Structure 1
Amino acid sequence: MTRILIVEDHALVREAMSQTLARLEPGLECVEAACSEQAIAMLEQHDDWDLAVVDLMLPDLNGISLLGIMAKRFPDVPAVVVSAFDDQASVRRAMRAGASGFVSKARSGEVLRDAVRNVLDGGVYFPDGEPRVAAGAARSGGSLAERFGLTAAQCRVAELLGQGKTNREIAELLGLSEGTIKVHMSAIFRAMNVRNRAQALVLISRRNSRP
């Protein structure tokens, strides 16, 4: 059963998101927290969370701070930010803090479900629904190997990661099992000194943007 933690201080918004995400799949459970303190307590009490949906404007610790805590203490729980602030600066701050997705509150429930589904499948969801690092990703293998000491196999996985592919899609494209891809991902994250795929994408994006 999929369990999602919704961290949002407005009760009506929390309830609406819970109802929206409940349509994602049968048996999906949404648990609500009104602030960062409640969210951290819930994350500590249970270890079976599949994803967190986090607002940036919270009454105690803001969403960026909560993302930082989650990245350090609960690195296996991906986070999707849902915020009224959808400017590029806010998106970049959220991604740098470890968010795996970002959805504007002005978007529809269908967009939120798509984002959550993508992240649950191991992907990263940007505001326009497409990763921003796709351009030039296929040229990144050599530079990634040189900079991070990746093997040829890891470079192939990193290239597809840079194109926004999920673990399942990467496995199908390379003819490998998802378990093998997860092993490669863990090795890539260690080599890049990052905790999750969102932070890895930031490094790949920076590398690809260089002449």
Structure 2
Amino acid sequence: MIRVLIADDHEIVRAGLRQFISEEPDIQVTGEAGSGDEVMAQLRDGEFDVLVLDISMPDRNGIDVLKLIRQRKPDLPVLILSTYPEDQYAINLIRAGASGYLTKESAPDDLVKAIRTVAQGRRYVSATVADLLIGGLDKPTEQPVHQMLSEREFQIFCKLSRGQSVSVIADELFLSVKTVSTYRSRILEKMGMKTNADLTYYAIKNGLVE
């Protein structure tokens, strides 16, 4: 039996996922979480084979949660389920350690297939993500500039683009203000931008923030 933890801040989404997953004889939802802190609490107290994780969470976002899980539960497969299209987040999150990425518009059968795939220790990559990966190898200069960021740079970029200050980011990530400032400078240089406002504009234009 594949034990699944569902993490999404919308109860109705969790209920829908739980309903169609319960119809599968080999998969069972054994835990639910509505926030990043609840995810970490569940993982401390229970045993799961797959985490289905939304990016948008009310306290810690899915990117922060993914990084924590990779540190504390490195063998746990994490399947990202998001409203954001694959071309915006999938590459960066797979690079950061996600086992797969699906949009919430995907068919239920695709999610079930993805859960089974990652539970076996393999990556689940949709045809769209596969094309993005292949396209990035063939034509690296045509990649969106945020895909050139490292895992930590992308994490901090997302926070800066949402208007968080360097000091707040430093507190959240347990880094020094100087370290975050250095990352900020590196991000701006890599992306060819000068201010946080430029980062926010880019993020909005590319659908990385709502």
Shared fold (TM-score, shorter chain, > 0.5) = yes
Name stretches of at least 5 consecutive residues in structure 1 with no aligned partner: 136-211
User: 1:71, 1:98 within 8 Å by CA — same for their partners in 2?
Assistant: yes
User: CA–CA distance in 2 between the matches of 1:131 and 1:87?
Assistant: 10
Q: Which residue matches 2:116?
A: 117
Give the percent of matched residue pairs that are identical in Structure 1 and Structure 2: 30
Equivalent residues in 2 for 1:88-107, closer than 5 Å: 88-107=87-106
Query: 1:29 matched to which residue of 2?
Result: 29
Match of 2:49 in 1: 50
Specify whether residues 134 and 22 from structure 1 end up closer, same or farther in structure 2 by C-alpha distance, changes over 3 A only.
Answer: farther
Alignment map for 1:1-211 (pairs within 5 Å): 1-26=1-26, 28-46=28-46, 48-128=47-127, 131=130
* Counterpart-to-counterpart distance in 1, 2:67 and 2:15: 25
User: What secondary structure sits across from 1:52 in the alignment?
Assistant: strand
How far apart are the structure 2 equivalents of 1:109 and 1:57?
20
TM-score, length-normalised on structure 2? 0.59
Cα distance in 1 between the residues matched to 2:10 and 2:29: 19
CA–CA separation in structure 2 for the residues paired with 1:103 and 1:27: 18
Closer, same or farther: CA 131–123 of 1 in aligned 2, 3 Å: farther
Quick check: 91-100 or 61-70, which moved more? 91-100
Q: CA deviation at 1:13?
A: 0.4
TM superposition shift of 1:30:
3.3
Shift in Å, 1:89: 3.1
Q: What is the aligned-residue RMSD (CA, Å)?
A: 2.1
Once the two structures are TM-superposed, the CA of residue 61 in structure 1 deviates from its matched residue by 0.7
Which amino acid in structure 2 is aligned with residue 50 of structure 1?
D
Question: Residues 93, 13 of structure 1: CA spacing in aligned structure 2 closer, same or farther, 3 A cutoff?
Answer: same
Counterpart code for 2:70 = A
Determine the C-alpha separation between the residues in 2 that align with 1:130 and 1:36. Answer: 25
Distance 1:126 1:26 in 2: 21
Q: Offset of 1:25 from its aligned partner?
A: 2.4
Is the alpha carbon distance of 1:31 and 1:63 closer, same or farther for their aligned partners in structure 2, counting shifts above 3 Å?
same
Secondary structure of 1:60 counterpart: coil
Call closer, same or farther: CA 1:129–1:118 in 2, change over 3 Å.
farther
- Structure 2 CA distance for aligned equivalents of residues 19 and 34 of structure 1: 17
Q: Counterpart of 2:71 in 1: which secondary structure?
A: helix
Deviates more, 1:83-92 or 1:120-129: 120-129
Post-superposition shift, 1:27?
Answer: 6.3
Which amino acid is the alignment partner of residue 114 of structure 1?
K
